[in-house]
Structure 1
Amino acid sequence: MNARKKVAFYTLGCKLNFSETSTIARSFTDEGFDRVDFSEQADIYVINTCSVTENADKRFKTIVKQAQKTNPKAFVAAVGCYAQLKPQELADVDGVDLVLGATEKFKITDYLNDLSKNDFGEVHSCEIEDADFYVGSYSIGDRTRAFLKVQDGCDYKCTYCTIPLARGISRSDALENVLKNAKEIAEQDIKEIVLTGVNIGDYGKGEFGNKKHEHTFFELVKALDEVAGIERLRISSIEPNLLKNETIDFVSNSNTFVPHFHIPLQSGSNDILKKMKRRYNRELYVDRVSRIKEVLPHACIGVDVIVGFPGETNAHFLETYHFLNELDISYLHVFTYSERDNTEAVDMDGVVPMNVRHKRSKMLRGLSAKKRRAFYESQLGTTRTVLFESENKEGYIHGFTENYVKVKTPWNPDLVNTLHDIELTNIDDDGLVRFEFVNEFAL
């Protein structure tokens, strides 16, 4: 390989993908490549794909065109979930040279001895059963926070989801390795770590996917809480049936774990939850939210919800809407159901027309805005700690409090990646919160 070739990355999808892109990028750096922004001229463009929604599939072609426009001679490689599920479909996209499945993506540099354009996309795929090993990952250098991967794959059989087909069985990183990665992140002066995975509450299944539980998620949380140099730890999405009281109670007394939980619901109707093969009912969900608010009244709680699942009648949807409206939550991530090949749901009766799906999605997005506003208003007058981001957005610097209130103040580069105690004062026209420094900050 020629030295000082340039490589650029584009990541679609979740926090887990961002952590894996960073790890793949470091392997290029180790091989003598310079990393550049995706908008710049590069010799290789690597696209980390997602296949959770139809839109992510379509965006892939647009991103390939963008890379080709910047450099028509560049080598284009695709990795990630879509690359595992439909490798030939990606390989057939004009301009794609290499497609790597789940077992090959971390070995991408092994495939780059010849960077000349291919007439046809070359596929190195695998049967997903072969994805039975674990590769630890974390993102670094992209933001003021790092995404630390602790788990991969999923053993759940939700009827709408392709992730088990794309990522394989549930398997976890060894506790010692997670702690080693966390220490490496802390040494980079990154203030916040977000724990990520496909199903992180399932953490503990052996490194090679066996069913022997080496450690529990709670043991992981306790061990990470003791790593020196980390200011904040945030738990990303965790299934309600796997979020135990012991974890909630520990977070309530922790100095580093922040009062922010993201808990997938998907539907507020027990009938639909059953059709989705979710492992809880709405009553358990209420119990989890109640427990959090009991010990952490100021906690931020985010919710995933899917609209338009097959068989979802108007009555089912309204059941979900009213359920969420009455629940003490802070915001929603709303997903419009889209048919995915090789899932049970794709063959179910009661297909919801697309215009109805979009109408329901719009209603829930409106509810989310209302919930977020109410949560922000409940925090006015309180003192919180903010971590400032690194981007100048139209003359403002943004940041998040420990309980995920987004704040803004006029741009000041000295604030980047710093923590400050602030008093939340008022909500601006754009919905973000203004504040005053509790301890006078030297501007």
Structure 2
Amino acid sequence: MNQSRSEHIEYLLKKAGFKACLEGEEPDIVVFNTCAVREHAKNRAVSIIGQFASQKRKDGFPIILVCGCMSQIYQKELLHHVPNIDVLLGTHNLEEVPLLIQKRLEKQKDTQPQLAFWSKPEGQFLETGYSRKPGVSAFLPITYGCNNFCSYCVVPYATGPQRSKPMELILEELQKILEEGFKEVTLLGQNVNSYGEDLGLKWGFEKLLENIEKLVEERPSRVWIRFITSHPKDMRESIVDLVKESKVLCPYFHLPIQAGSNKILELMNRGYTKERYLEIASYIRDTIPDASIGTDIIVGFPEETEADFQQTLEVVEKVQFEIAYTFAYSPRPKTRASSMVDSVPPQEKKRRLLELNQLVRRVYQKRVEKLRGKTVALLIDKQEKTFSGRTPSNLRVFIESSVKNSLKPGDMLLVKITDIRDGKIFAEKA
């Protein structure tokens, strides 16, 4: 999501006459688009911004602009720890970035930082225009903001309520992406399943996917469409059915469970039970056997006992996630959980996280072993020491044969899985 917003900021700056620095050039302006979801990300950002700010030349350059979730949440703290920030703005007024930089250029000797914060967003989510680097994959935001208020999550406080981009704007942007030659497009939203609810659309996400399917099917070359993130409380069987029947939509569902205990899920304000989650996961597995399920899991949430943690491990055993992002809980400002006692000691959080990660790896290796000898579609998207790509179900596969000499990023081909080593999947052309 932040990568896509950064592409939008770059688009706005180029449109206003600024140009991106080439590698090795001294920048006049440095823009930091920040994230506040985790404490580690925040601390790292403060450190990096401070490094750049401390290198200001006598002429006042480079101009340091900081925007995004961290500036929205930590405005005073940022100004205190990084005194050389020139422009600080929140999440609701990115369109002002070029104007604010221009004003700063006109008042270069002004020592007071420019601040630009709207307390809440205005109107619809109408963001268009992204400076995407040529490549295989592109991102396309369809919503911004969130209405869920999970008790651990700062996102609704940083981004405001969910605003869905009008369908015609999404289709126009998708058309541009296709014309630019991208082979894979990922629809982005904090909760894509609830797309269109704020526009008065019932089953808006299904309608959007149907329209996207029609648009992409008309293309002479094949294009894959993915979407993230799906919230379990809004995940519907009809979405799974659409993906099953589609020639365009990829069978990968990022469906964060966060915890396997109903007690913790309720404390997290997630809006579903473990039983409902397992029901959805089973429906995906039964309906699309080749689909992958990804997840996010937090360990050490306030009041999580060892018994609660064991229930999370049981869910991992049952679902056998192909992809899992795992985290130890850290309190975020303004959230309801930040007022709860952080009852799980740091060392216990580390132990649970280690045990969880070990299980995630074991079940993943057990699941991908079943792929050995199978033929799958692959979209080549990386060229490093060897070529690799992703399957429609979002599994990374490495090519190890002479065919790699004739490959290039963007190629789609059928490959046969030949080996699985240390969790890595290897294949040759089918």
Normalising by structure 1, we get a TM-score of 0.88
| Structure 2: distance between partners of 1:65 and 1:244 | 45
| Structure 1: distance between partners of 2:109 and 2:425 | 49
C-alpha change, 1:118 and 1:417, in structure 2 (3 Å) is: farther
Q: 1:374 aligns with which of 366, 371, 381?
A: 366
Secondary structure of 2:241 counterpart: helix
Amino acid at match of 1:397: F
Is 1:416 paired with 2:420? no
Is 1:166 paired with 2:158? yes
Secondary structure of 1:320 counterpart: helix
Secondary structure of 1:219 counterpart: helix
Secondary structure of 2:233 counterpart: coil
Greater shift after overlay, 63-72 or 248-257? 63-72
| Structure 1: distance between partners of 2:131 and 2:278 | 33
Q: What fraction of aligned residue pairs are identical, expressed as a percent?
A: 29
In structure 2, what is the equivalent of residue 432 of structure 1?
Answer: 424
In structure 2, what is the equivalent of residue 102 of structure 1?
Answer: 91
Give the 5 Å matches for 1:20-419.
20-36=5-21, 40-68=25-53, 72=57, 73-92=61-80, 93-113=82-102, 114-115=104-105, 116=108, 119-127=111-119, 129-137=120-128, 140-141=132-133, 143-206=135-198, 212-213=200-201, 216-228=204-216, 229=219, 231-349=223-341, 351-392=343-384, 395-409=385-399, 414-419=407-412
Residue pair 2:190, 2:228 contacting (<8 A) in 1 also: no
C-alpha change, 1:139 and 1:326, in structure 2 (3 Å) is: farther
Deviations 1:180-238 (A, max 9, x none): 1111101111000111112211100346xxxx337611111111111233610012120
C-alpha change, 1:360 and 1:118, in structure 2 (3 Å) is: farther
Deviations 1:91-124 (A, max 9, x none): 3314321111122222200111233375343221
C-alpha change, 1:231 and 1:260, in structure 2 (3 Å) is: same
Amino acid at match of 1:267: A
Residue pair 1:150, 1:197 contacting (<8 A) in 2 also: yes
| Structure 2: distance between partners of 1:259 and 1:64 | 39
Amino acid at match of 1:405: L
C-alpha change, 1:40 and 1:276, in structure 2 (3 Å) is: farther
Deviation at 1:376, TM superposition (A): 2.1
Deviation at 1:139, TM superposition (A): 6.6
RMSD: 2.2
| Structure 2: distance between partners of 1:178 and 1:288 | 28
* Gaps in structure 2 of 5+ consecutive residues: none
Greater shift after overlay, 260-269 or 134-143? 134-143
Secondary structure of 2:250 counterpart: coil
Q: How many residues are matched? A: 415
* Gaps in structure 1 of 5+ consecutive residues: 1-15, 439-443
Deviation at 1:69, TM superposition (A): 7.3
Normalising by structure 2, we get a TM-score of 0.91
| Structure 1: distance between partners of 2:17 and 2:56 | 20
C-alpha change, 1:183 and 1:311, in structure 2 (3 Å) is: same
Residue pair 2:259, 2:312 contacting (<8 A) in 1 also: yes
Amino acid at match of 1:396: T
| Structure 2: distance between partners of 1:281 and 1:139 | 41
Greater shift after overlay, 159-168 or 379-388? 379-388
In structure 2, what is the equivalent of residue 9 of structure 1?
Answer: none
